[in-house]
Chains A and B, each alone.
Chain A
């Protein structure tokens, strides 16, 4: 038992990893437990920010900053809708029946088991020393450190300085870009001012 804890805290990285991992899980649990829509949103923000801190610790600055920007902005919109649509009286509380809780807990445990099982079973995700069983995402010399933006950006346009000879991610990148553009156009279409049929009263005035 102590060996495990010692190895976990022997480095700053591990200590901070455990801190942020626990905070992320705590935030996620508080989303489920709390009965107040804004506190739930705060729990969501805490959880997502801790995940972005984990990204920062893995030198994935860009992904971490994107996580902060996208999810925090999204959660703010969520809060606006939460406040506008649910809170008719001050500081309203949401209460669920025990049966709902039991059902949700069961589904959650099953989902967690599925994820845990999947993570454990995928061979290429294991830090294997055997070159035969190494997965496609194995990187020589361990995970990347320092500034990782340039390799990331270049692999988005099809160059892989970290893994020469392999294809980049140009096609997925373009597909996602076009997809987002379609979403933007759709949102603008839905939100545009509709042309109204003029009524008599409007014509008179």
Chain B
């Protein structure tokens, strides 16, 4: 036997765990994307007074995505002669891997994330921002002017829209005091109080974070290059933009990544603003306190709730796409630089100032007579954990030194 293999203590547990996580995340990455591609066809057809797919797999054509996949995987894998072959073939993988990596940090229920990171939101945004590299490489390496136009538009759009998107997602972060996606939902969850359902703890009902949700959603739509911001593709002006020279499986990878990214940004929106896996009527916390098996049932229920919320937001993106006309590139830039960035900055400032003003004016961190959750000033658990925890840690450390 090779000396290297003989002497090493090879640990199988991390490998098995890794494979399990990747398989689960892959399922949640691929299956919704396929369903949304089918939904896009049906919704667009209904909006345009058509029927859409009706034959493949029964009455509603629900096997259409699978049939398309089977067709696309059989197509010849070709690249233009003038293209930079290596980059042309690499680009779809970059896009898919970037989109997939974002799902590693998305918690589907309490603690059900592949990587539970304290900077989960930041990591997700960073991973999603990698996607644009693939698009630019695809557009540039195609050696086609349409593709290059699409890529340069995409680059300009992405570099601009990342800024208001990040600032808007900072608004609930400032109000809740954590970047951990799991904790963000835990703080938003609650119980019935004085006739108000726990739904009113959600950030969307917050007077500052509510507008931030709308601003975030616009930026998220643009960051997935969805209409009315689909300048990179723009099939009526640029043939198919950065996708012009692609066909077969590599072409479908771009679409897989696009629909998965839509789901990812909608998942972020659901967690930040819509209470994540909290159903808003107290069912989740009731299930959780049920005793044996209750936590598992609560998590399963929560995962369904979160996926429903994210799917509703994806449906909203589809609806917007088939309703609004495409903007021109200068209008896209104006929307971002002259409107969205000032709005986002104002909201951020308001998120910092609002709790202070409210506490000094009313003595209470919320308008509704609820328990003080969801606010930075009066938030008992977060503040205790951060400050008093730090003091306790410091004390124990200094004792250890002596």
* Interface bits B132-145 vs A (CB < 8 Å: 1, else 0): 11001100110100
Q: Interface on B for A, CB 8 Å cutoff? A: 3-4, 7-9, 11, 14, 82, 84, 86-87, 90, 117-119, 122-123, 125-127, 129-130, 132-133, 136-137, 140-141, 143, 148, 152, 155-156, 158-159, 162, 179-180, 386, 390, 393-394, 397-398, 401
Instruction: Name the residue on B nearest A37 (C-beta).
Output: B140
A-B CB proximity, top 5 nearest? A147-B118, A149-B118, A68-B126, A65-B126, A69-B126
Instruction: Name the residue on A nearest B86 (C-beta).
Output: A39
A6 touches B140 (CB 8 A): no
Interface residues of A in 28-70 (CB under 8 A from B): 36, 38-39, 42, 45, 49, 61-62, 65-66, 68-69
B162 touches A91 (CB 8 A): no
Contact (A164, B123) CB under 8 Å given A76-B155, A77-B159, A83-B148: no
A161 touches B394 (CB 8 A): yes
A90 touches B8 (CB 8 A): no
A73 touches B11 (CB 8 A): no
Dominant secondary structure at the A interface: helix
**CB of A21 closer than 8 Å to a CB of B:** no
In angstroms, Cα B133 to Cα A72, docked, is 8
Contact (A39, B123) CB under 8 Å given A73-B129, A164-B401: no
Q: Interface on A for B, CB 8 Å cutoff? A: 2, 5-6, 9-12, 36, 38-39, 42, 45, 49, 61-62, 65-66, 68-69, 72-73, 75-77, 79-80, 83-84, 90-91, 147-150, 154, 159, 161-165
B390 touches A6 (CB 8 A): no
B126 touches A5 (CB 8 A): no
- Measured between C-beta atoms, what is the minimum distance from A28 to chain B in Å? 17
A38 touches B143 (CB 8 A): no
In this complex, which of A11, A79, A148 has the most chain B Cβ atoms within 10 angstroms of its Cβ? A79
B122's partner among A10, A36, A65 (CB-CB below 8 A) is A65
Instruction: Name the residue on B nearest A13 (C-beta).
Output: B14
In angstroms, Cα B158 to Cα A10, docked, is 42
Q: A61-B123, A69-B125 are in contact. List 8 more A-B contacts (CB 8 A).
A: A6-B8, A62-B122, A66-B126, A73-B159, A76-B159, A150-B390, A161-B390, A164-B401
- Measured between C-beta atoms, what is the minimum distance from B319 to chain A in Å? 30
Instruction: Name the residue on A nearest B385 (C-beta).
Output: A150
Contact (A91, B82) CB under 8 Å given A12-B11, A72-B129: yes
B390 touches A159 (CB 8 A): yes
A72 touches B130 (CB 8 A): yes
B398 touches A164 (CB 8 A): yes
In angstroms, Cα B398 to Cα A77, docked, is 47
Give 8 pairs: A residue, B residue, CB < 8 Å, sorted on A: A6-B4, A6-B7, A61-B118, A73-B159, A77-B155, A77-B159, A80-B152, A147-B118
